[in-house]
Structure 1
Amino acid sequence: MTAPTCDLVLLGRDHDDVDSLADQAQLAEEYGFSHVTMGETTGHNIVPVLTVIAERTDEIGITDDVISPYSRAPTVLGQTALTMDDVTDGRFRLGLGTSSPAIAERWHGQSFDRPLRRLRETIDVVRQVCTGDSVDYDGEIYDLGGMAFEGRVPDEPPAVDVAALGPKTVELAGRFADGWVPQLFTTEGLEERMEDLRRGAELGDRDPAELRVSPLVRCCAAEDGDTARSIARGMIAFLIGAYGPFYGDSIAEQGYEEEVEEIRAAWEDRDTAAMAAALPDELLDAVAATGTPEEVRDKVEDFAAVDGVDAVRVGFVSGMSQEQKELTMDAVTDS
């Protein structure tokens, strides 16, 4: 069977320097991944990192998972998209997402107010900047005008993807963005939320088939499947119970309310071991691809088979060795 189309998500915390991240991106290109991406929270500023990756790769697509509009002005995000389009020779997609109250307020010093409106207006402003014309925007959050990007503007502007979980934000992605990046969904939950994306596309008079849907699935393969699950369990539990409210809320809405409550209760005591222990195998296997290489590939294929999915973003988990990462990369590609 042909391997599904996959993107590779780099885990910044696993790398001591930018050279190491670039080496992993080069390896992803050798394996045949469609895109390489990485997130930004309180680690690396990912724009210069992705610039280095662009200079050291030739064909692989490059994107980010994701930049928060609370971290930069929307005009700066437009400048970033155009500059990255230049340095990647058109290989760049801009990823946006509201992130979480903790990151917005405790790291960026911004009030986490009206996140959907801010995201919508950010997309609008980025689109205007990418035309090369004078920006003229009178929004509820941003009031801008009278200046334009001073540089080359491509015939095809960089695509804008939105990371989103809830129905309203996913509808927004369908209506205004070029792609949707979901995370921590079961295949059934993904299928259900896809209806919100299609509704948004219809409201925007757009073809849903033209939106790039690339769910991020945390993956870990090991010859001993139990070892892989043990490695993945802690990070998945942390994302559900501690990483802002949104992942946990989404998981609860997908039928795991009691499990989320137990994981969150353990986090209140900062007991990460109890958090991991509270994550049942059923939930772990529903939202992540862990186990033997064959089990990981089968699960990734399950996500790829969901109607409307264009690629699966293969995300590593904390604690994996380089050997386990390459075994996982082998499992989901034809290498």
Structure 2
Amino acid sequence: MNAELDLLIRLGDYDRPQEVGDRAVQAEELGFDRITVGETTGWNIVPPLTLAADRTDELGISTDVVSPYGRTPAMLAQTALTLQDTADGRYRFGIGPSSPAITERWHGMDFDRPLRRTREVIEIMRAVYEEGNPAYEGDIFEIPGLGYERGPTENPPPIDVGTLGPKATEMAGRFGDGWTPQMFTADGLRDRLEDLERGANLADKDLSDLRVAPIVRVIAGEDREEARRKARSTIAFMLGAYGPYYGNSVAKQGHEDVVEDIRAAWDDRDTDAMAAALPDEVLDDLAPAGTPDEVREWLTSYGEIDGVDAVRVGFVNGMSEDDKRTTMEAVADLV
């Protein structure tokens, strides 16, 4: 496969942060290029990523993604710079506009102007990187400024932006160093890459200057139907119950009727009906699920989309450790 291969790690799958370090070692041994970890309402990402960075030598380390509401911009810059030093320059910082549920029900903040906030946070982080000072006057933040005690850095971590919609993705292209979308069909991804490129051009950049690393949910197993059952359940839940954004995005990619049916089943909290409402062809558009050969073929095709630099492999719900090992080994054959 021409694209690099990243592994998305879900912190909720582990009992202790040290186990994330174990998974990172395993990923490096199998030849993955990078691991990435998201942060929602579970563990703080810094300790497990510190362990992962300390126990590996070449594996890239990423966050995927951090909320712009959960820490101040200066603290986000401190966090990113600390992880970059911990990982000896192998770290990439990931940020996204987040969601109303996490912002309001976890962080206790108003979900106000998420795109503007994300942009300003990125600009303030770059001010700390380049000037050693978060001084800034914006629509949301007004910061008089105070010197970062370690001063400007010569090797700041790149900033990846996780977005879905056209305006948000244009923002990612303009202000980010990379883009980490999720739940896109191949055709939907090609369409959105045009928005990313438009944003990059506004900043006098080329699309090739950005690391494009879409996330896909993957399961490979010899029991093809069981693998597809688990994937179908996960994708249906993400479309119907996991906030409005993934469902809205997939609906606009040509599957509006399917998303409506899945959401109607979720209104009754009928997860079996949600899965049943996801046709094979839509599952196949969104997720590689089946035998190892089928999964490798899907990922190879997706990774060959013009503009894609890496594919981020995430697990589906209900996978055993054997399922995860089988899936990791299957996709690692593409490295």
TM-score, structure 1 as length reference: 0.97
Aligned equivalent of 1:5:
4
Once the 2 structures are TM-superposed, how far is the Cα of residue 152 of structure 1 from its aligned partner?
5.6
Residue type matched to 2:215 in 1? L
Deviation string 1:261-300 (CA, Å, 9 cap, x unpaired) is: 1111122222222211211111111011110001111111
Once the 2 structures are TM-superposed, how far is the Cα of residue 3 of structure 1 from its aligned partner?
6.8
Aligned equivalent of 1:38:
37
- Of 37-46 and 155-164, more deviation after overlay is shown by 37-46
Alignment of 1:1-335 (within 5 A): 2=1, 4-151=3-150, 153-334=152-333
**2: distance between equivalents of 1:218 and 1:35?**
16
Deviation string 1:151-193 (CA, Å, 9 cap, x unpaired) is: 2643121100000000001000111100000100000000010
**2: distance between equivalents of 1:154 and 1:139?**
23
**1: distance between equivalents of 2:119 and 2:12?**
30
The answer to whether the 8 Å contact 1:100/1:245 transfers is no
Partner of 2:66, secondary structure, is: coil
Partner of 2:150, secondary structure, is: coil
**2: distance between equivalents of 1:304 and 1:154?**
33
- Of 91-100 and 325-334, more deviation after overlay is shown by 325-334
**2: distance between equivalents of 1:147 and 1:133?**
8
The answer to whether the 8 Å contact 2:2/2:304 transfers is no
Residue type matched to 1:183 in 2? Q
TM-score, structure 2 as length reference: 0.97
Residue type matched to 1:37 in 2? T
State the percentage of identical aligned residues: 56
Deviation string 1:59-94 (CA, Å, 9 cap, x unpaired) is: 100001100101111111111111111111111100
Query: Structure 1 residue runs of 4+, over 6 Å off?
Result: none
The answer to whether the 8 Å contact 2:132/2:147 transfers is yes
- Of 39-48 and 129-138, more deviation after overlay is shown by 129-138
**2: distance between equivalents of 1:14 and 1:28?**
15
Residue type matched to 1:53 in 2? A
Partner of 2:144, secondary structure, is: strand
The answer to whether the 8 Å contact 2:20/2:49 transfers is no
Residue type matched to 1:73 in 2? T
Q: How many residues align?
A: 334
Deviation string 1:204-235 (CA, Å, 9 cap, x unpaired) is: 11121010000001000010211111111121
Structure 2 spans left out of the alignment, 5+ residues: none
Partner of 2:42, secondary structure, is: coil
Partner of 1:135, secondary structure, is: coil
Structure 1 spans left out of the alignment, 5+ residues: none
Once the 2 structures are TM-superposed, how far is the Cα of residue 4 of structure 1 from its aligned partner?
4.2
The answer to whether the 8 Å contact 2:41/2:106 transfers is yes
Once the 2 structures are TM-superposed, how far is the Cα of residue 132 of structure 1 from its aligned partner?
4.3
Once the 2 structures are TM-superposed, how far is the Cα of residue 312 of structure 1 from its aligned partner?
0.2
The answer to whether the 8 Å contact 1:4/1:333 transfers is no
Residue type matched to 2:226 in 1? T
CA RMSD of aligned residues (A): 1.3
Residue type matched to 2:49 in 1? L
CA shift in 2, pair 1:329/1:152, >3 Å: farther
Once the 2 structures are TM-superposed, how far is the Cα of residue 19 of structure 1 from its aligned partner?
2.0
Once the 2 structures are TM-superposed, how far is the Cα of residue 133 of structure 1 from its aligned partner?
2.6
**2: distance between equivalents of 1:274 and 1:150?**
56
Residue type matched to 1:166 in 2? G
Once the 2 structures are TM-superposed, how far is the Cα of residue 247 of structure 1 from its aligned partner?
0.4
Residue type matched to 2:221 in 1? A
